[in-house]
Amino acid sequence: MKRLFIVAAVATLLPLGAQAQTADELAKGASDTKNVLNYGMGYNLQRYSTLTQINKESAKRLVPVWNYSYDDNRSEESQPLVYNGVVYVTTNSATMAIDAKTGHQLWKTKVEYPPETPRIVCCGIINRGAALYDGKVFRTTLDANVVALDAKTGKELWKQNAINFKDGYSMTVAPLVADGVVITGISGAEFGTRLFIDGWDPATGKHLWRTYTVPAKGEPGSDTWAGDSWQHGGGSTWITGSFDPELHTVYWGIGNPGPFNAAVRKGDNLYTDSILALDPQSGKIKWHYQFTPNDPFDYDSVAEMVLADIKVGGKPTKVVMDANRNGFFYVLDRTNGKLLAANKYVKVTWADKIDMKTGRPVETDVAAKARAGEKVVVYPAILGGKNWEPMSFDPKTGYAYANTLNFGGHYKAIPVDYKAGDWYVGMDLSDIWEWPQGPRGYLKAIDPLTGKAKWEQPSDLPRFSGVLSTAGGVVFSGQLTGEFEAFDADTGKKLWHFQTGSGIEGQPVTWEQDGVQYVAVSSGIGGVYSLFSGDERLKNIPAGGSLWVFALQK
């Protein structure tokens, strides 16, 4: 009888144990080669794996193992997660669990949002992925809900609405679980919204805190907004932050101010185009650093804040690094926000340099003319020197591998009126691109401290895929024309590619199961470049989302 009871108790506990992702597991995610537990393949967002089975010599033997249809023809920017042999992945319209070895679907839970929702989504109908914790899968939805599903069954456990989407708010961000709190960001700076970061209780969905990225009247930083301009000040938070568990600090990039026309919001406009260091349990701001004060050019700074421990001036330093849309590559001391380096990594004409004493840009005549209302040609364009597509940092080579953009823009500010739920941009959008003759993008190996590239791989159409690097000396990325590619991390030489059938805007990941190293990436075109560039060379790239998984041919 007693033995029976023990067996029953163990049987009850086992499924839970197999499904529960603990805080400790999440903290060790960057070195866990059997799973992919975090957005960014680790709290540090380095997107680096120590696996070496796929390496410079063997990469040419990569072959597809399986393909899984998303039954969705929107942009597929989601990063897959992997836990105990199960792949968890999202689209705008569903959350799915797939057997990592066979590609068989284990469950699929649809997301239904009101048909009006795409009206307020600026830059593609997408979702960027899930978070795993304590047997649950957390995700956001386009109509601004945060949802928890049972990781084993896909059953919805709780759903919380962050805000009324109709006023211009949407959610595409993959949540972050840090110090036991589910943290989410939000989009909508092009619709005259005022944005924020939220903390939620993973067990119940209870709302724990909200930190606005634009302070209200009377709050610290509110004197950086003229008049009532803060009310429509933007400051999106749509890319997942990084987390240092030892410092109990989350690092979150903040988006552009609204509207683009900077004249209507005089002042520095904190905390737009900034990095915020936050306490994950309270949402309290520990420190901030602003990249582009009073930004006219949509130099949104939401993109990944990558953590690394590197030598600066010979001294081991805990840093946070950012290839900013404004064209400068920043390295900051992540313990206090002190600026350590800021160098151009692409062509930049709006500023000469960053003043290392004040941390502020030294603006050029181009910026002065734009601010005075003249039409100017400016580099980078509104899509930035690098857009949202996440870079990888290889601690072995010390280089950041990033898909950079090689085109400028035309900028002219125009008057704008606010109306809830409408575009609130204040920029002439009828003629905005300055295209080069040759390649529009380069995959670059960038020295974080100088911004200089060790090598660069051009592409006629810019790459908008995430980047993955491995200890095998291989860098993975994808093309809008569908090729999934592998490069030599030291030289940039192309080692292998495979046509995935649609354009790649996804985020490659790698893991090992039963002695085999797998690499996975989502394919499916429909993001910001395909919508806004007017690049008609894309007309023969079909939409259609799916997940590809590769391994070496036996």
Partner 1 sequence: MTGYRGWATLGVAALSAVSSMAAAQTGGDHPDPAQVQHGKMLYADHCSHCHGFNMVSAGNVTFDLRTFPRDQRERFFESVTNGRDNRMPPWGDVLTQDEIGDIWAYVCTGGK
Dihedral, 139, 197, 122, 405 alpha carbons, nearest 10? -100
439 conformational bin, left if phi > 0, alpha if psi -120 to 50, beta if neither: beta
Q: How far is the CB of 101 from partner 1 (least distance, A)?
A: 32
By CB atoms closer than 10 A (0-12, 13-18, 19+), residue 155 is exposed
512-541 residues labelled b (16+ CB within 10 A) or e (exposed): bbeeebbbbbbbbbbbbbbebbebeebeeb
Q: What are phi and psi of 455, to 5 degrees?
A: -150, 160
**What distance in Å separates the CA atoms of residue 55 and residue 108, rounded to the nearest whole number?**
34
Q: How far is the CB of 221 from partner 1 (least distance, A)?
A: 30
CB nearer partner 1, residue 115 or residue 515: 115
CB nearer partner 1, residue 257 or residue 426: 426
Active site annotation includes 298: yes
Query: Per DSSP, which regions of 151-203 are E strands?
Result: 156-161, 176-178, 181-184, 196-200
Q: How far is the CB of 422 from partner 1 (least distance, A)?
A: 6
Selected catalytic residue, list 298, 300, 394, 447: 298
CB nearer partner 1, residue 122 or residue 277: 122
Q: Which residues contact 70 (CB under 8 A, 6 or more apart)?
A: 76, 91, 94, 96, 522, 524, 545, 546, 547
CB nearer partner 1, residue 114 or residue 227: 114
Question: How many Cβ atoms are within 10 Å of 360's Cβ, its own excluded?
Answer: 16
**What distance in Å separates the CA atoms of residue 398 and residue 111, rounded to the nearest whole number?**
40
Coil/strand/helix, residue 545: coil
The residue type of 364 is T
Do residues 276 and 203 make contact, with C-beta atoms less than 8 angstroms apart? Answer: no
Q: How far is the CB of 414 from partner 1 (least distance, A)?
A: 11
CB nearer partner 1, residue 103 or residue 118: 118
Enter the tokens of residue 427: 């920029």
Q: How far is the CB of 170 from partner 1 (least distance, A)?
A: 12
Q: How far is the CB of 413 from partner 1 (least distance, A)?
A: 15
CB nearer partner 1, residue 158 or residue 435: 435
Coil/strand/helix, residue 27: helix
Q: How far is the CB of 421 from partner 1 (least distance, A)?
A: 7
Enter the tokens of residue 87: 């792949």
- Whether the CA torsion 488, 494, 495, 499 is positive or negative: it is positive
Q: Which residues contact 544 (CB under 8 A, 6 or more apart)?
A: 73, 501, 502, 523, 524
CB nearer partner 1, residue 422 or residue 490: 422
- Enumerate binding residues for partner 1 (CB under 8 A): 73-75, 115-119, 121-123, 190, 421-423, 429-430, 432, 525-526, 530-532, 534-543
Enter the tokens of residue 262: 């900077």
Put the strands of the sheet holding 207-212 in their side by side order: 176-178, 181-184, 196-200, 207-212
Q: How far is the CB of 539 from partner 1 (least distance, A)?
A: 4
**What distance in Å separates the CA atoms of residue 354 and residue 361, rounded to the nearest whole number?**
4
The residue type of 131 is A
Dihedral, 282, 288, 294, 300 alpha carbons, nearest 10? -70
CB nearer partner 1, residue 117 or residue 343: 117
First-to-last alpha carbon distance for the chain, in angstroms, is 50
CB nearer partner 1, residue 283 or residue 524: 524
CB nearer partner 1, residue 118 or residue 439: 118
Q: How far is the CB of 244 from partner 1 (least distance, A)?
A: 36
Q: How far is the CB of 385 from partner 1 (least distance, A)?
A: 21
Closest CA to 414 of 506, 296, 335: 296
Query: Per DSSP, which regions of 367-452 are E strands?
Result: 376-378, 392-394, 399-405, 408-411, 433-434, 441-446
Q: How far is the CB of 22 from partner 1 (least distance, A)?
A: 39
CB nearer partner 1, residue 40 or residue 527: 527
Pairing mode, strands 468-470 and 48-49: parallel
Positions annotated as catalytic residues are: 298
